[in-house]
Homo-oligomer: A and B are copies of this chain.
Amino acid sequence: MALEYANRMNYVKASEIRELLKLTEQPGIISFGGGFPAPELFPVNEMIEISKKVMEKNGAQALQYGPTEGYRPLREAIAKRMKKVQVDAVVEDILVTSGSQQGLDFAAKVFIDPGDYIIIEKPSYLGAINAFRAYEPNFIDIELEDDGMNMEQLEKALKENKKVKFIYVIPDFQNPSGKTWSIEKRKKLVELANKYDIAVVEDNPYGELRYEGELFPAIKHFDTEGRVIFLGTFSKIFCPGLRLGWIDAHPEVLRKFILLKQGADLQSSTISQIEVATFLNEYDIDAHIEKIKVVYKRRRDLMVGIMKEKFPKEVKYTIPEGGLFTWVTLPEHINTRDLAVKALEKQVAFVPGGSFYAYPGHENDMRLNYSAMPDDLIIEGMNRLADVINEALK
């Protein structure tokens, strides 16, 4: 048997994180690998109340098919919530998706023909890069500085390449780097997108998890022409196991996404949508987010503290103002894939940085997650990791 697959299957790769997940299921592993939220913060008791209430009140509706666009009260609650990032949204702007990962897949599916160009940050989220690869684009990666993309490089790329379909950015506490775009660069990005008439895909899973200062306005806040497609998710501010996210886009653009969703999975889970709508409308999600922030901030401080104290001076790292990740850059002669093997011998996991680049040749970074492990394991794991790094740099 020699089944012939589509050309795209030559490009689709296993997510290093998803593969790592399997390893980290082993007991005893201290994992800074996945982007897992802390399970002890999940609102389990509230979910017990909510699921009972939804079943008793709306059981038959909750278990039935519903509209592709999503459960209307959830779409309304999401539209209202977009005010947090200073976006005025109406229900017609909102499509409920199965996590924001589905929004990434759809963005590529809506825009990309094989050989088209898309612009991404360098580095960028590996799950996005992999999702995009299935549509056979060419990647243009633009240096990510501490305050966002290098704007000169970006404009140069836009000028040179006729078939750029969209710019993909994660402006708040980026995955993997932890960096946040400045207000100025957000504005400038929209100006450039307007000038060159292309779409922007703004991926914002962590924006509300800011540990100091005020929430920034989304890039979509500056969008005057309806070309910014905003992806949100309940995975980090509520829980990922329900697989619910959303797209906020101009209805004309959103229409394309709705059509794709019909073919891709008809709709997201009705019951989960009603449950989340109930949580948003009858419970206090802001108080819940505050609780999360207290814990994650403390864990970030713990992790950064140990890096400061124990990592060799040549090792650089970001101190994110929010989100789940810090990004560690080692001297160029260090290969973090090799380092990961050594760390695993000491029962510590992280994601080597290479997967977060569209092109090979960047092997000296690593992404560390601080949200998933309890404080004592962060201390223990970071001490072990510091030993591994010190050993490698000796």
Contacts and interface: CB of A to CB of B under 8 A. Distances in A.
Given A8-B109, A265-B98, A39 B67 contact: no
A313 interface: no
Given A3-B197, A269-B242, A269-B272, A263 B64 contact: no
A260 to B, nearest CB: 7
A6 interface: yes
A151 to B, nearest CB: 21
Nearest to A41: B60
B42 A64 contact: yes
- Interface-centre pick from A44, A64, A105, A259 (highest chain B CB count, 10 A): A64
A55 interface: yes
A267 B384 CA distance: 32
A40 interface: yes
Interface string A109-131: 11111001000000000010011
Nearest to A12: B259
A102 interface: yes
Given A256-B9, A262-B14, A65 B101 contact: no
Contact of A63 (B6, B242, B253, B259): B242
B44 A48 contact: no
Interface residues of A, number: 87
B266 A5 contact: no
A153 to B, nearest CB: 23
A109 B134 contact: yes
Contact of A1 (B36, B48, B225, B263): B225
A227 B3 CA distance: 8
Contact of A12 (B130, B239, B260): B260
Number of copies: 2
Interface stretch (A15-23, A87-95, A302-310, A331-339): A15-23
Given A5-B110, A44-B60, A111-B5, A262 B55 contact: no
A183 B171 CA distance: 57
A116 B131 CA distance: 22
Nearest to A272: B269
Nearest to A56: B48
Interface in A53-107: 55-56, 59-68, 97-99, 101-102, 104-105
Nearest to A35: B65
A185 interface: no
B21 A39 contact: no
Given A256-B5, A263-B134, A22 B67 contact: yes
Nearest to A241: B270
A226 interface: yes
Contacts of A134: 109, 260, 263
Contacts of A264: 101-102, 105, 131, 264
23 contacts: A1-B197, A1-B225, A1-B226, A2-B197, A3-B199, A3-B227, A6-B109, A6-B110, A6-B116, A6-B165, A8-B109, A18-B67, A22-B67, A39-B61, A42-B64, A44-B55, A44-B60, A102-B264, A104-B263, A105-B265, A240-B270, A242-B270, A243-B268
Given A12-B256, A15-B262, A264-B264, 15 more contacts: A5-B111, A7-B113, A22-B67, A39-B60, A40-B60, A44-B60, A51-B55, A62-B241, A101-B263, A102-B264, A127-B262, A127-B263, A241-B270, A243-B265, A243-B270
8 closest Cβ pairs, A-B complex: A44-B59, A241-B270, A63-B239, A39-B60, A131-B263, A51-B51, A63-B241, A42-B63
